[in-house]
Amino acid sequence: MNGFRFSNTADEYDSQDCFVARMPANITTVDELFLALKTQLKFPEYFGFNWNAVTDCLRDFAWIEQRQIMLIHQGRLMLSENELSIYVDVLAEAVSDWKDGEHSFEVVLR
């Protein structure tokens, strides 16, 4: 998948050029995932803590000044198979939507 990278190292990025969101390790529930996304990607206050809200926010990023956005998962996602599948689909759509947009969005998974 273009826009997805798999890595076991903690790469360094210049925060002036790149907005880096580092997700906590070992997320086990969708509620933990939603809270981590809101916190790390600085989602707006109106974020609704559901998949539609995640999709909407990942396709906006108006509040982020940097053009390049990196979402780095520092640990294994321990969600149910169904929830993990939904999350990967949402991320893939967002990455694809930003391909030629004003932002670039890349996801790094362990």
Query: Which CATH number fits the domain that encloses residue 50?
Result: 3.30.370.10
Residue 41 is part of which domain span?
A: 4-109
Supply the pLDDT for residue 54. 98
Supply the pLDDT for residue 2. 65
Supply the pLDDT for residue 17. 79
Judge whether 68 and 103 are in contact, CB under 8 Å. Answer: yes
Per-residue pLDDT of the chain (110 residues; tens, 9 = 90+): 468 887 776 566 556 679 999 999 889 999 999 999 999 999 999 999 999 999 999 999 999 999 899 999 988 889 999 999 999 999 999 999 887 777 889 999 87
Supply the pLDDT for residue 69. 93
Name 71's bridge partners.
Answer: 21, 107
Number of domains in the chain: 1
Sign of the alpha-carbon dihedral angle for 100, 104, 105, 110: positive
